[in-house]
Amino acid sequence: MKTALAFALLLAGTTSSIQAQESYNVVQIGRIWFDGLSFGADTAGGSDCWGYTAPDGTEYAIVGTVTGIAFVNAATMEVVDEIQGPTNGDFPWKHRDIKTYRHYAYAVGEMTGTNAGLMIMDLSTLPDSVRFVQAYHPAGDVTSHNFSIDTTMGYAYILKQGYTGFRMVSLADPENPVEMGTVTTPNIHDVYARNDTVWVAEGWSPTFSMYDVSNKAAPSLILRHPIPAGGYSHNIWPTDDGRYAITTEETDFKTVKIWDVSDPGNVTLVGEYLGSSNLAHNVHVKGDLVYISHYEAGVTVVDISDPANPVEVAAFDTFPRGDNPNFRGCWGAYPFTQNGYFYASDIEGYLTVLQLDSVSTGVGTSPELPAGFSLEQNYPNPFNPATSITFHLAEAGFVALTVYDILGREIATLVSENLSAGTYRREWNAKGEASGVYLYRLQAGNMVESRRMVLAR
């Protein structure tokens, strides 16, 4: 049985004059469609997507549908389960937002009816099914557009019904939330929470703000910043170090903006980006890469390692029918998997599982290509349970990188595709395999090279 594969991003590669910058190809792993609601010539009902990594390493995509929340095995594209959600109102969009915490999935929506409120779903019963726990909400505050979970501190921050602020909810007992207080903000649309800090996108104000919520009884405003000539302040996500915040405005021809917020008293705009459809929805930040659900442009990936000069390094058009500033196409993007996959969800009901495959290229000059064909020793070696394999190609062509056990039985295929000349790295996760000696074999055209590696439990 083949193990789940984890694909790492390429780090190697140099140019003759300046440091190389990665360029990425996007590979489609799978794509499925959930039935939508017809309006005019279109369908709608697909909404946000999120993800969950099970203890055995299996990755699941979680997506909002017309009828509820669907759970999909990202490797097989099998719909494992779907939990009924509220469906009354909000035609035809059926806004739903999803997050995970420990082995639970949570979801909110703008609809009323069955399971309205904060849906709580136990994922410990996967891969067989998902156990619905309860739908929780305080009296008079049933619907919500968006929420965030501070997974470090164990609190959910849930938009109040009517967009008047957010609720602070303890998840100390993940199946039985407890209200801790509320914060009133103008025109709130999205929240992001991490380490007792909450970021807020404030709609038509148009402003964004940051709150210190370490004291739930007395939250304090850290900053509120106006967006000059702004559209609708729609979504906000900070970088991992908290120095920068990235915002979208979900308004025609309004850019994705990168703000230096390291000094709350002197917030500055340092960089801007806008994809081909000229209408961006949401951003999610993972390291130096920003994944943007960009409506008709599909999902775009932007490198912000130099925040003043954001560069689009990859894109996948999930909506090839157009490239205009319309509310169609890619709605959600989730990059936080452990195997290198990322997910894109479309308004029309599609869930697409993708993978970044990188090739090092120079910036402003031609890269130095490998002098020949070669396969490096894996590192680390011995390993448990994952190891990286680097190889070099002097010419473009079809490439196969395969792992075998000591008896010559094929265990995993890490590469089986056409690749350009360059240096590549793949990671093999041997979770589930027995200790012992394995062989990995690289073939490109008439060139073949093999090496041994040791899995030591």
Q: Are residues 416 and 311 in the same domain?
A: no
What pLDDT score was predicted for residue 385? 85
Q: Are residues 147 and 264 in the same domain?
A: yes
Q: Are residues 185 and 151 in the same domain?
A: yes
Q: Are residues 263 and 400 in the same domain?
A: no
Domain span at residue 378 reads: 374-455
Q: Which of 321, 355, 389 is the last residue of a domain?
A: 355
d(CA 65, CA 84): 10
Q: Are residues 153 and 244 in the same domain?
A: yes
Neighbours of 449 (CB within 10 A): 14
Q: Yes or no: say if 454 and 448 are a contact pair by the CB < 8 Å rule.
A: no
Domain membership of residue 253 (yes or no) is yes
Give a three-class secondary structure readout of 53-80.
Answer: ECCCCCEEEEEECCCEEEEEECCCCEEE
What pLDDT score was predicted for residue 10? 27
Q: Are residues 448 and 310 in the same domain?
A: no
- pLDDT higher than 70, residue 19: no
Domain membership of residue 19 (yes or no) is no
Domain membership of residue 362 (yes or no) is no
Domain membership of residue 16 (yes or no) is no
Q: Are residues 314 and 404 in the same domain?
A: no
- pLDDT higher than 80, residue 370: no
- pLDDT higher than 60, residue 363: no
Q: Are residues 311 and 451 in the same domain?
A: no
Among 224-238, 301-315, 346-360, the minimum mean pLDDT is found in: 346-360
Q: Cα 223 from chain centroid?
A: 27
| Residues 6 or more apart in contact with residue 275 via CB below 8 angstroms | 292, 294, 297, 300, 312, 315
Question: Token pair 């960009």 is at which residue?
Answer: 294
Record the tokens describing residue 321, joined without a space: 């029918």
What pLDDT score was predicted for residue 314? 92
- Report the CATH number at residue 49: 2.130.10.10
d(CA 249, CA 281): 7
Q: Are residues 194 and 66 in the same domain?
A: yes
Domain membership of residue 30 (yes or no) is yes
- pLDDT higher than 80, residue 212: yes
Altogether, the residues listed in the chain come to a count of 457
What pLDDT score was predicted for residue 15? 26
What pLDDT score was predicted for residue 22? 64
Higher pLDDT: 356 or 221? It is: 221
For the residues 47-60, what does the mean pLDDT come to? Answer: 94
* % of the chain residues with pLDDT over 90: 74
What pLDDT score was predicted for residue 18? 27
Domain membership of residue 274 (yes or no) is yes
Record the tokens describing residue 353, joined without a space: 């599982």
* % of the chain residues with pLDDT over 70: 92
- Number of domains the chain is built from: 2
Q: Which of 297, 323, 355 is the last residue of a domain?
A: 355
Q: Are residues 396 and 351 in the same domain?
A: no
For the residues 277-285, what does the mean pLDDT come to? Answer: 98
pTM to 2 decimals? 0.77
Produce one character per residue of 82-96: b if its CB has 16 or more CB atoms within 10 Å, e if not: bbebbbeebeebbbb
- Give the model confidence (pLDDT) of 318-335 as tens digits: 999 999 999 999 999 999
Amino acid sitting at position 156: A
For the residues 232-259, what does the mean pLDDT come to? Answer: 97
- Give the model confidence (pLDDT) of 83-121 as tens digits: 999 999 999 999 999 999 999 999 999 999 999 999 999
d(CA 88, CA 114): 9
What pLDDT score was predicted for residue 358? 63
Amino acid sitting at position 214: S
Domain membership of residue 28 (yes or no) is yes
Q: Which of 355, 387, 404 is the last residue of a domain?
A: 355
- pLDDT higher than 80, residue 207: yes
Amino acid sitting at position 144: S
Q: Are residues 267 and 122 in the same domain?
A: yes
Q: Are residues 384 and 350 in the same domain?
A: no
For the residues 250-270, what does the mean pLDDT come to? Answer: 97
Among 1-15, 208-222, 388-402, the minimum mean pLDDT is found in: 1-15
What pLDDT score was predicted for residue 195? 96
- Give the model confidence (pLDDT) of 382-434 as tens digits: 888 888 898 889 888 999 999 999 888 999 999 998 888 888 888 898 988 99
Give residue 368's pLDDT band: very low, low, confident or very high (50, 70, 90): low
What pLDDT score was predicted for residue 75? 86
Higher pLDDT: 250 or 8? It is: 250
- Report the CATH number at residue 432: 2.60.40.1930
What's the sign of the alpha-carbon dihedral 400, 403, 409, 411? negative
Q: Yes or no: say if 51 and 62 are a contact pair by the CB < 8 Å rule.
A: yes
First to last CA, the chain: 19
What pLDDT score was predicted for residue 359? 57
Record the tokens describing residue 350, joined without a space: 């599609």
Domain membership of residue 5 (yes or no) is no
